[in-house]
Amino acid sequence: MARFRYRAYDEKGNVIEREVVYPSQEVLLSELQSQGIYVVELEVLEEEEKKKEEKPSFSFRRRVSDRDISIFCRQLGTMVQAGVPLVEALNVIAEQMPDRRLSEASQEVARMISEGMSVSAAMRKFPHVFPELVVNLMLVGEETGKIDVALLKASEYYEKMATIKGKIKSASFYPTFVVIVAVTIVSGILYFLVPTFAQIYSSLGGELPLPTQMLIAASNALRNNLPLILIFLIGSALVFRYLYTTNYGFRRSVHAFMLRIPKMGSLFQKSAMAQFARTMATLFSSGVALERSFEISKQVVGNTIIKEALEAAGKGVVEGQPMYRALEKTGVFPKLVVAMVRVGEDTGKLDQMLETIARFYEDEVDRTVDGLIKLIEPMLIVFIGGAVGLILIALYMPIFKLGELIK
């Protein structure tokens, strides 16, 4: 991806000066020409997005949540639709937004617009606040004179994305929480309760049953090495986070493993398909070029395997292949997606078909999450009950043989 600054004239003779990000100079010129815009000056500013993708930095800084972006776009779109000047609307929203970064960025964007900068160019200055999709929809809104429509469409999109991600989190949060509670209970029994029984049994002088001996050994190991265990766990988490953030091969392996996890892998794939289709439908129906829509979609899906497939499909589309054929060649996209995209291209209703795919997979995510929770809940109960039960049996076995132990 490269950033360009161009000066051009439209069919009415109006002067247009903008900064944009496009895959290449050829794609940019082709799209402008198709819109009846004639470029008289074009300058390449920088090519840093690709470098950022290849060499990601290790950082704990997080982006603004999809829910906050949705609220921001909806409020701003509603105010602009009601006739409130854009600068004034941004300043009003900046005072109301709970996210400090979004509030400060809104104020800066308002200031830049008042100084003559376009909305999309101003938002592009804050990549950790305003996503690329919002910037491109704003660019389309500026060109069509329908900024309010672009903002409301962005709001609807991020509301859908927040719902999908929320479903994924709910599916993973419950088992994670239960496992953490189970580990805490078991650790507490080993650390506090078992040593008391060990002292009682040691005073008896007899030989303890093997399960009890193993339980006492585990308790001693935990008590004697607790600081080292905690350091190891925290260190492992930090190393994993560092490798996941900075090492592409490691991140790719993790994502490939996630897609192969029974039940959960299907959920991750359906979620990625929903995000892909929703993003493509939103951008394509707004007038964003198909090649550019692919570029933004691959940033949204999250999974590296599917991201690589989208990148390959995008190159195929640029080379002149039908979209369905480019998706099919990757071997990653389900046959249903390929078939519906083909129907959309044949009928000239690709945006509607992409919308249908998005709704279908969003419903599939809902059903899959509900099914997983119903499946995991009894399994976790059995797991916790079994673990605690085995510990208690091992702990009380010597009492059943109390006569043999006393010497």
The domain that contains 130 carries what CATH number? 1.20.81.30
> Does 90 reside within a domain?
yes
Kindly tell me if the per-residue pLDDT of 135 is higher than 70.
yes
Instruction: Specify whether 116 is located in the same domain as 146.
Output: yes
3-class secondary structure, 86: helix
Among the listed ranges 17-26, 148-157, 227-236, 334-343, which one has the minimum average pLDDT value?
Answer: 17-26
CB 212, CB 181: distance < 8 Å = no
> Does 139 reside within a domain?
yes
Average pLDDT over residues 223-247: 91
> Does 70 reside within a domain?
yes
> Does 173 reside within a domain?
no
Instruction: Specify whether 12 is located in the same domain as 96.
Output: no
> Does 186 reside within a domain?
no
Average pLDDT over residues 51-64: 49
Last-in-domain residue among 100, 126, 160:
160
Per-residue DSSP letter, 116 = T
What's the structural domain count of the chain?
Answer: 3
Average model confidence (pLDDT) across the chain: 82
CB 273, CB 309: distance < 8 Å = no
Among the listed ranges 147-151, 158-162, 199-203, which one has the minimum average pLDDT value?
Answer: 199-203
Average pLDDT over residues 262-279: 86
Average pLDDT over residues 272-290: 84
pLDDT band at 402 (very low <50, low <70, confident <90, very high): low
pLDDT band at 268 (very low <50, low <70, confident <90, very high): confident
Among the listed ranges 22-26, 184-188, 355-359, which one has the minimum average pLDDT value?
Answer: 22-26
Instruction: Specify whether 33 is located in the same domain as 74.
Output: no
Average pLDDT over residues 41-61: 51
Spatial distance between the Cα atoms of 237 and 242, rounded to a whole number of angstroms:
9
Rounded percentage of the chain residues whose pLDDT exceeds 70? 91
Instruction: Specify whether 27 is located in the same domain as 85.
Output: no
Domain span at 83: 66-160
Q: What's the confidence (pLDDT) of residue 52? A: 42
pLDDT band at 59 (very low <50, low <70, confident <90, very high): very low
Please name the residue that has the structure tokens 């399960």. Answer: 211
Instruction: Specify whether 41 is located in the same domain as 77.
Output: no
Instruction: Specify whether 38 is located in the same domain as 111.
Output: no
> Does 192 reside within a domain?
no
Q: What's the confidence (pLDDT) of residue 377? A: 77
Kindly tell me if the per-residue pLDDT of 55 is higher than 70.
no
> Does 324 reside within a domain?
yes
Among the listed ranges 54-63, 79-88, 134-143, which one has the minimum average pLDDT value?
Answer: 54-63
Kindly tell me if the per-residue pLDDT of 142 is higher than 80.
yes
pLDDT band at 56 (very low <50, low <70, confident <90, very high): very low
Task: State how far Cα 13 lies from the chain centre.
Answer: 43
Per-residue DSSP letter, 192 = I
Tokens for 341? 């995209």
Instruction: Specify whether 143 is located in the same domain as 88.
Output: yes
Instruction: Specify whether 7 is located in the same domain as 75.
Output: no
Please name the residue that has the structure tokens 């049996």. Answer: 393
Instruction: Specify whether 23 is located in the same domain as 101.
Output: no
**Residue 11, φ and ψ in degrees, nearest 5:** -65, -20
Q: What's the confidence (pLDDT) of residue 49? A: 42
Spatial distance between the Cα atoms of 91 and 98, rounded to a whole number of angstroms:
14
β-strands 2-9, 15-22: how paired? antiparallel
CB 246, CB 57: distance < 8 Å = yes
> What does the chain come to in residues?
407
> Does 254 reside within a domain?
no
Last-in-domain residue among 160, 194, 219:
160
Average pLDDT over residues 115-138: 85
Kindly tell me if the per-residue pLDDT of 298 is higher than 90.
no
Last-in-domain residue among 138, 160, 182:
160
